[in-house]
Every structure is written in C-alpha cells, then in structure tokens.
Amino acid sequence: MPLAPRENIGPVRITRIVAAPLFGESPKGGWSVEIKAEDSIHALIAVHTDAGITGYGSVFTDGRLVEAALEVLEPYYRGENALEPERVSEKMHQNTFWMGRGGTLTHAVSGIDIALWDILGKVTGLSVGRLMGGRHQERVMPYCSLLMEEPAQMGDEIVRWREQGFKAFKIGWGPFGRRNDYRLDEAIVRAAKDALPPGGRLMVDAGASDAYWPNGLKWALRTADMLADHDVDWFEEAVKPDALEDFITLRRETRVPISGGEVLTRRQSFIPFLVQGAFDIVQPDVTKVGGLSEQRRIAWMAQDFGVRYVGHGWNTALGIAADLQLASALPNVDLVEYIAGSAYVDNIMAKPFELDADGMLAIPDMPGLGVTLDRDRVARYSPKASELF
C-alpha cells in the first residue's frame, strides 16, 4: 500500500535577518598588510522566522559591510518563505547584481543562503546533505590550514598539529614567493614534507591574491616543478586570480595539480576557468561565492568538466559545517579545509569538532547544518551575539 501523504508544511516566513561581526581573535592571514586580532573579517548570520525557527550562516567579509548589505537586501527577503533557499537567494542576486555582483552583497547572500538551508533542514528533520543530494559518505578528512614559516618553525608547526591528529596539511602565504629566494621556498616545503605523519598529504598555497603579488607565470612554472618533485598534492593560487591565460598555461605545462577559485564569486565567474581548462581542482568558498546553493552548482559543473571540487574553507565553524554537508551530498569529495587554531572555528560551538583516530571528521546527520552555536562563547567575540539567538 502507498504511504499516506505527509501533512503539508506551510510557509515559514522570514521576519528578520541579523549579523554579528566577529572581533578579538581574528586569525592571521599571512597578508602583506596583516590582519589584526581586532579586525572584522568574518560575521555570523541569523535568519529569524515567524515559526520561531532560526537558521545560521557565515560570511567572509567585514561584519560592518554585512550589516549594511542586510539593509539593502531587506526588501527582497522580508516575508519570504525560508523553506525555499535557492529561489530566495536567486531573487536577491537577480535584483541587486547591478550594484556590484560579486562584492559585499554576494558575500552577504552567501551567509543568508547557508542559514536558509539550515532552516529547511530543521523544519523537515533532515540534514542539509540529505536535502542536497544524499549521504555519499559519513566522514571526510580535514586538512589543517597553516601559514608558512621559516623552515625550522614550519616543521615544528606541522609536528604540533600532527600530534593533535591531523594527517593532511596546507601551507601558504607567509614568506613563500615574497623574498625572491627560491632556495628558501624549497626549504620551507622540504621542512613541512619531512614533518608529515606516515602517509600524510601536503598542499601548497602561494597566495597570489595578496596585495601586489610580485611573481608571474615563469616563477609559477619553476615553483610548480619543485613542488612536483616533493610530491605535493596541489599548487594553489600560483598566479594572480584573474590571470586566466596563465592558469591555463600552468595547468598544461606542469606535473603538479593546479587549484584556485577562492576569490571568484557566483557560478558565472567559474565558467571560463572550467571551459578553458584552467584548474585541476576548483575551490569556491561557500561564505563568499553565493552560499550552498551556488557552491553545489559550481561543484556539479566542475564534475562535468572532470575537475575536482574541494571547497575553500578559511572561515568559521559554520563554514566548515556547510562544507561538511556538501561533502556528504557530492561524490568523490575527500577533503575540507580547517584553519588551525582559529577561535572562530574551535570556540563558538556547543560541541566543537573532533577528529577521530584516522584524522577524519564525522559529517553530522542531524537536522540542518547539524551544529549548534554556543551563546556565551559567541559573545566573547561579538557585542551583537545576543541578536543571533
């Protein structure tokens, strides 16, 4: 006999969206103008509804800009049905693109979209991963994202986090490529490689989206050969992020896989990089690119071009939670990024992430994102934390 139909779930209307900028322990980024602890580079988002259900998301940009963006976006989200994340998010994109597609507004929509998926999961009782495609896997390996240091310190840093259970590492920015010293670059990579656990994996991020990046294609080609000799898993942001032709040449001419895309926003920006063969691995950031709705479309598109998807996750615990859910919903996603030592990752949830004995993270299978913010912990980093709850 067929099952009786479930009672219809009525609309859940958005009443208010608030942002809580995070301050006080912003992690260093290795930028030429370094992030200060008191800078706001991330904000948390809460979408409140008339059903008393709240969804949470994360935005990678200055929280003051997010607050301004919410005022601009309000006519397009207030009163909308929070159970329709893709439609509501696209409505916001379509009605504001002329103000600057890809900037603050797109970043803010990213956090809203993540929060809407969280609400849909909480209302249906399903994890976001199940809603977005299913459970291809139950756990995934986090790679420990570290800034590059001088060679001696680099090895020590790898050991420090290796002892906490990490088996995959990405090192980036810092002095690499910024001192016109090829031997120093290689010494840093060698020190990191020598400190890996047995079977450990190493990725290298040049950070060419930094202000006034000094190197070009020839530096990237030479460095890529060195990284291939050290069996590095991928070379990330090796040339300036808009240098499409350089990415194409680099991918064609080198042995190491080439990755990028963290500064690109919305799926349209990724099309030429995929069509023209610029990446082996594409890395959109769910807290910038347009949210989970956009991230999933980019990942599917990449799969059709034979390009791996590994999300860029230099953000917060909510960003990791979103990446974990998408990792469950897509086949062949074997890594998520995890910033080492960030308070906004390790110290804002009621139950922090924990690695298992294999260095893996379990993907929550609870309603929504499957994680819970801790009110008191968030309050340490945001004067507006109470508005989230």
Flag whether 247 is in a domain: yes
Q: Does 196 share its domain with 120?
A: no
DSSP structural state of residue 44: E
Q: Does 248 share its domain with 145?
A: yes
Q: Which tokens hold the place of 130?
A: 């199940």
Q: Which of 79, 76, 139 is nearest to 109 (CA)?
A: 76
* Mean per-residue pLDDT of the chain: 95
Q: What is the pLDDT of residue 7?
A: 63
- DSSP secondary structure string for all residues of 322-386: HHHHHHHHSTT--EEEEETT-HHHHSSBSS-----TTS-EE---SSBTS--B-HHHHHTT-TTGG
Q: Does 119 share its domain with 149?
A: no
Per-residue CA distances from 16 to 52, 78, 80, 290 (Å): 11, 7, 10, 20
Q: Give pLDDT tens digits for 315-366.
A: 999 999 999 999 999 999 999 999 999 999 999 999 999 999 999 999 999 9
Q: Does 296 share its domain with 230?
A: yes
Planar angle of CA 314, 59, 109, nearest 5 degrees:
135
Q: Does 47 share its domain with 156?
A: no
Gap between the Cα atoms of 95 and 90, Å rounded: 8
Q: Does 87 share its domain with 176?
A: no
Residue 230: give its domain's CATH number: 3.20.20.120
Residue 84: give its domain's CATH number: 3.30.390.10
Domain that holds residue 191: 130-369
Q: Which of 41, 338, 33 is nearest to 207 (CA)?
A: 33
Q: Does 222 share its domain with 82?
A: no
Element (H, E) at 192: helix 182-195
Flag whether 83 is in a domain: yes
pLDDT class of 5 with cuts at 50, 70, 90:
very low
Gap between the Cα atoms of 315 and 17, Å rounded: 20
pLDDT class of 30 with cuts at 50, 70, 90:
confident
Q: Does 161 share its domain with 108?
A: no
Q: Give pLDDT tens digits for 367-378.
A: 999 999 999 999
